[in-house]
Structure 1
Amino acid sequence: MNVSDSLTLPRPTAPPPRAQGEVLLSVQAVDGPTRLAHLRQQGSLKALFPRPSGPVLDVVTLITAGGLTSGDRMRLEARAGTGARLRLTTQAAERAYRAAGDPPALVESRLVADEGARIDWLPQETILYDGARLNRRLLVDLAPSATALLVEPLIFGRLARGEQVREGSFRDRWEVRRAGRLVFADALHLQGDMGRALDRAAVGGGARAMASVLLVGPGAASHLASVRALLPGSGGASLIEDGVLFLRLLAPDGFVLRRMLVPLITRLTGAALPKVWTL
C-alpha cells in the first residue's frame, strides 16, 4: 500500500452532536415578593430572569442550541415554595426541526407547588417542522391549596411560508397530581402524515394550530362561564372535577390561535402576559 492508497480509505463518521440541557430551580416568598432560592443550570437550556416588577417572579427559558432535533434532551424542574408565585415562559417560539435519525428529541418538565403557591406555565408556541420527532412530558405536583395554570400552544408548520407537516412524530403527555392524587392526565400522539390526520373532522377539522389549557386549584370552577364566553366555536371548556378546568382550542394558524389565547390567559391569570409574548 502506498501513501495515495491510504488517503482513499473510508474514515469513521462520528454521530452528529446532540444538545442536552437542564435547569433546576426553586423560589420562595420573602416578605411578600417571590425570590429565587436555588438555581442550577447546565448545557443548552438556560434560565433568564427579567427585572422583577411585582409579587410574581418571571423566569424565561432559552434553548441555546436554536431548536430541537433528533436525540436532543432537555429537562426542567421548578418548585414554588409556600405562598410563592412563579411564572415560566420561553424567550420565543420553540422549534422542532426535521430529525436526522430515529431517536426523537425529548423534553421533560416537572413543576411542584407547595401550600398556597401558584405556578403559571406559559411557554410560547412550539412549531413542528416537517419530519420533526418530539416527545414531551409534563409532570405537575400540587399541594391541596396550590394553583397551576398550564398552557401549551402548538403549530404544525408555518403556513405563511407554504410549509406542510406531512411526516413526523409528536407525543405529548401531561400528568397532574393534587395532594398526591392524579386529577388530570392527557396524552396526544400524532404519527406519520400529521397534516392528513389533522384534516379529519374528528381530530382537527383542518386546523394547523392547537392549544391545551388547564387550571387546577381552588376557585377554578368560577372561571368556567367566563372562559366559555371567550371561546370560539373551535374551542371547548370542561370542568373535569371541582378545581380542575380544562380547555382545548383549534385554529387555522398560529396567528389566530394567539388571538384566542391572549384574552383567555389574561382572564385566568388576572394579569398581562409576559413581555416576551409581545416582543
Structure 2
Amino acid sequence: MINTAGGVTGGDRFDLTATAAADTELTLTTQAAERAYRAQPGETGRIRTHLIVGDGARANWLPQETILFQGCRLDRHLQIDLEASSRLLMCEALVFGRAAMGERLTDGVMQDRIDIRRCDQPLFQDAMTFCGDIAAHLAKPTVAAGAGALATVIFVAPDAEGRLAPLRRMLGSTAGASLIGSDLLILRALAPDSYALRKVLMPILTDLLAAPLPKPWMT
C-alpha cells in the first residue's frame, strides 16, 4: 500500500477496505513506517482499516511500524472479518518517539482498537489508549518498564497450537505468547526502540508467514 508516509495529523481521515476472496492469499504491507505528527488543538487524525477474509483464504496484514511524534492525536481502528476456514497473520507495531533522535513523547494521544470476528462472532478484541505524558506512563514497571516500542502479533490457523512452543523459544525476556483456543495465537513484545523490535519481529513473522517478508521490511 502507498500509505501516507508523510505523516497523519489532526483532521486527516484515511479508510482502507481489502478483501481476500475464497481460496486466495493476500499480503498487505506499507511502503514505509506510518507517522503520527503533531495535531492542532481539538483535532484528531483517524485511520480505519477493514479486512475481509473469505473461506479457505489467508490474509497477512504486515504494515511497518507506526511512529508517534510529540503532540500527536491519532484514533486508529482495525476490523478483520473471518469465515470459518479463514487464516490470518496480523502484526501491528507502535514506536513511541524515535530513540535515536533523542525524542521523548511527553504529550500525545493514541487510541488503538483491534476487532477480529469469525462468522460474525467476536474472536479477539483489544483496545489501548495512551494520553498525556506517554513516556512517563511507559516508564512504570507495571506498564512497559521504559520500553519505547510495542508490537502485537495475531496468528489464526489450524496449526497455531503447534507453533506456540517454537515461537516462545524465539522470544526475549520482554515478550510473551499465549494460545487462546486451539487455533488463535497471540504475541505481544516490548523493546527499547524500533530497531530492537524489528530484530525480534522479523524472524518470528518470517516463520509464521513461511515465506520472506515483503521487500519494504528489508529496507
Residue deviations 1:132-159, cap 9 Å, x none?
A: 1111101011011110111011101111
- What value does the CA root-mean-square deviation take over the aligned residues? 0.9
1:234 to 154, 174, 189: 174
Q: Secondary structure at the match of 1:98?
A: coil
* Paired-residue identity, %: 45
8 Å Cα contact 1:199-1:207 kept in structure 2:
yes
Partners of 1:251 and 1:187 lie apart in 2 by 20
1:122 to 62, 65, 69: 62
Partners of 2:42 and 2:173 lie apart in 1 by 38
Partners of 2:3 and 2:132 lie apart in 1 by 29
| Residue segments in structure 2 that go unaligned for 5+ positions in a row | none
Structure of greater Rg: 1
Q: Secondary structure at the match of 1:265?
A: helix
1:248 to 188, 200, 203: 188
- The one-letter amino acid of 1:196's match is A
Note the C-alpha offset of 1:217: 2.6
Note the C-alpha offset of 1:61: 3.0
Q: Which residue of 2 aligns with 1:61?
A: 2
Note the C-alpha offset of 1:218: 2.0
Q: Which residue of 2 aligns with 1:75?
A: 15
Residue deviations 1:240-264, cap 9 Å, x none?
A: 1121110000000110000000001
Q: Which residue of 2 aligns with 1:113?
A: 53
Partners of 1:138 and 1:194 lie apart in 2 by 22
- The one-letter amino acid of 1:139's match is Q
1:103 to 38, 43, 52: 43
- The one-letter amino acid of 1:183's match is L
Considering Cα pairs closer than 8 Å and 6+ residues apart, tell me whether 1 or 2 has the greater RCO. Answer: 2
Partners of 1:177 and 1:137 lie apart in 2 by 14
1:14-93 equivalences in 2 (<5 Å) = 60-63=1-4, 66-93=6-33
Note the C-alpha offset of 1:222: 1.6
Residue deviations 1:205-227, cap 9 Å, x none?
A: 10000100001232222211111
Residue deviations 1:43-94, cap 9 Å, x none?
A: xxxxxxxxxxxxxxxxx33226x11000110011001111110000000011
Partners of 1:78 and 1:163 lie apart in 2 by 34
The question of 1:151 aligning with 2:91 is answered: yes
Q: Which residue of 1 aligns with 2:159?
A: 219
Q: Which runs of 4+ in 1 moved over 4 A?
A: none
Q: Which residue of 2 aligns with 1:164?
A: 104
Partners of 1:118 and 1:101 lie apart in 2 by 41
Task: Tell me the matched-pair count.
Answer: 219
Partners of 1:160 and 1:102 lie apart in 2 by 30
Note the C-alpha offset of 1:201: 1.0
- The one-letter amino acid of 2:16's match is L
Partners of 1:233 and 1:245 lie apart in 2 by 18
Partners of 1:177 and 1:79 lie apart in 2 by 14
**What's the TM-score, normalizing by structure 2?**
0.98
Partners of 1:223 and 1:177 lie apart in 2 by 22
Partners of 1:101 and 1:139 lie apart in 2 by 28
8 Å Cα contact 1:97-1:131 kept in structure 2:
yes
Q: Secondary structure at the match of 2:55?
A: coil
- The one-letter amino acid of 2:2's match is T
Partners of 2:82 and 2:2 lie apart in 1 by 22
**What's the TM-score, normalizing by structure 1?**
0.77
